[in-house]
Structure 1
Amino acid sequence: MSRLAVVTGGGTGIGRSTAGMLAGEGYDVIIVGRRADVLAEAVKWIGPQATAVTADVSDPTQVPAVVEAVGDRPLDVLINNAGAFVPGADSTLDEVAQHWHANLDSNVLTAVLMTTALLPSLRRPGGRIILTSSIAAQRGGGGPYSAAKAALHGYVLDLAVELGAEGITANVISPGYIVDSEFFLGRMTPEGHQKRVDATLVKHPGEPQDIAEAVRWLTGPGGGYVTGQIINVNGGSVLGR
């Protein structure tokens, strides 16, 4: 039986590229997202090893649909990639609360609910959990989005400690500026693009495949001794620490 992976936020950008890479490595891949039409297009792009589950994984009532899709198969890889920069007003305390809740739900609760729900299914030993963070977690600039992504770093350390003895690894990948994703949809100017490129040491932006290649390493034989780590993939725009 083929190995099995679940990729949340799998319809576009980093998630779709990662799911495609895993399918190419022989995995059956379940991609999860909120938009059925986007997921359908992604399944066509990924190929016959992909299936889709339409669910908002920040909603506890929708997460069981993913568990049902996994069924009684052992889950080899869980990629918690769902998340977004959620803009909001901050003029009143109510607006501040709504803004922060929206970012925490989108970026933290998604990962916590999916991991908790699928933990019993993860292969022991050999299961791999990967969370997608952001360079904003390490250098700020995103308000509640930065704080939410930073929360994933603390969460993955707990997961690594909790699950290491069972042979499950847990790591964070922290991307820098990645083009061909929906993150900056409608918000990126030519000046903003150039500023982000200039901030790298390699003087070019990243692409979703760059993150997929980091996932390939962490989920492959070479990644089995790596756990509890923050893996920076940012072209040198923030140096390792």
Structure 2
Amino acid sequence: MGRNVLVAGGSSGIGRAIASRFATNGDSVWITGRNPEKLDHTSAAIGADSLRCDHSNPADIEALKLELPREIDVLVHAVGANTDRIPPASEAVDLRELAAEWHRGLDANLLPAVLTTAALLPRIGLGGSIIAIGSEATESAATSYGAAKAALAAWTAGLSRLVGPRAITVNTVTPNYTEGTDFYSTPLPDQMRSALVASTHDGRPGTPEDVAGAVYFLASSSARHITAQNLHVSGGIYITR
């Protein structure tokens, strides 16, 4: 019997690949996003239902609840964006602009997961899965994006302890440079791309499908004792021990 899967931010990039992986394997999938055209295109292409939602907006999430099934088996948080524009070490910075930038970073990368989970947690039953998409920026980036993704990983680990008695697992999947997404607003310079690829052990960029495979595994019956973890899908660029 197929599962009910919600992929928040599933209209493009990594989120789309995740939604496609579940849909291809017979699960009922709902994807959300803010762009109706992208949602319609993706839902038709992968066989998922689509619902418009800004996951940083409580009113949108309350409306979303009315459209979703009463039971959710897998909740994937793939909402996120790099909103940083001010250099981290800038000496001449307007503090109001800096504060606004950091609020945007938290609103884009942390708040959606917190709000959506709070709204839908009562619907996630025994043996469910919550999986958030993190970033290798948590290891070194002095930006609102890196800080928000680090907070996301910490939040998932803490949430795991709270919902563990219900046999719900909570994990973060952390990719590094992943091609085929809209993360970079402009094409990467060849030198930067080459440096990112060279930093991996396997000498290639990541793909959305790499991340989707990890997410699918963590939501499977084979991963019921894996929780509160941060799984790096980065070609070895960050070595865990």
TM normalised by structure 2 equals 0.95
Q: Which residue of 1 aligns with 2:177?
A: 177
Instruction: Tell me how large the CA RMSD over aligned residues is.
Output: 1.2
- Structure 1: runs of 5+ lacking an equivalent: none
Q: Which residue of 2 aligns with 1:97?
A: 99
CA offsets per residue over residues 21-41 of structure 1, 9 Å max, x none? Answer: 001121111101010001111
1:12 to 1:56, Cα distance in 2 relative to 1, 3 A? same
Q: Which residue of 1 aligns with 2:83?
A: 86
CA offsets per residue over residues 167-223 of structure 1, 9 Å max, x none? Answer: 100000011110000001315111111110011011000100000000111011111
Partner amino acid, structure 2, of 1:34 = R
**Separation in 1, partners of 2:69, 2:211:** 28
CA offsets per residue over residues 19-74 of structure 1, 9 Å max, x none? Answer: 00001121111101010001111112112xx11111110111111122112132x1
Instruction: Tell me the secondary structure at the aligned position of residue 7 of structure 2.
Output: strand
CA offsets per residue over residues 211-241 of structure 1, 9 Å max, x none? Answer: 0000111011111110000000000111115
Instruction: Tell me the secondary structure at the aligned position of residue 63 of structure 1.
Output: helix
- Structure 2: runs of 5+ lacking an equivalent: none
Describe how 1:188-207 pairs up with structure 2 within 5 A.
188-207=188-207
Q: Which residue of 2 aligns with 1:119?
A: 121
| Superposed structure 1 runs of 4+ greater than 3 Å apart | none
Instruction: Tell me the secondary structure at the aligned position of residue 61 of structure 1.
Output: helix
Q: Is the 8 A contact 2:84 2:143 kept in 1?
A: no
Q: Which residue of 1 aligns with 2:66?
A: 68
Q: Which residue of 1 aligns with 2:32?
A: 32
Instruction: Tell me the secondary structure at the aligned position of residue 62 of structure 1.
Output: helix
Instruction: Tell me the secondary structure at the aligned position of residue 205 of structure 1.
Output: coil
**Distance apart, 1:132 and its partner CA:** 0.6
Q: How many residues align?
A: 236
**Separation in 1, partners of 2:85, 2:190:** 24
Partner amino acid, structure 2, of 1:158 = G
**Separation in 2, partners of 1:178, 1:110:** 22
Instruction: Tell me the secondary structure at the aligned position of residue 222 of structure 1.
Output: helix
CA offsets per residue over residues 121-156 of structure 1, 9 Å max, x none? Answer: 102x11100011000012x23511100000011101
Partner amino acid, structure 2, of 1:94 = R
**Separation in 2, partners of 1:117, 1:232:** 28
Describe how 1:120-139 pairs up with structure 2 within 5 A.
120-123=122-125, 125-138=126-139
Partner amino acid, structure 2, of 1:88 = R
**Separation in 2, partners of 1:88, 1:98:** 11
Which one of 54, 57, 80 corresponds to residue 59 of structure 1? 57
Q: Which residue of 2 aligns with 1:237?
A: 237
Q: Percent identity?
A: 35
Partner amino acid, structure 2, of 1:99 = E
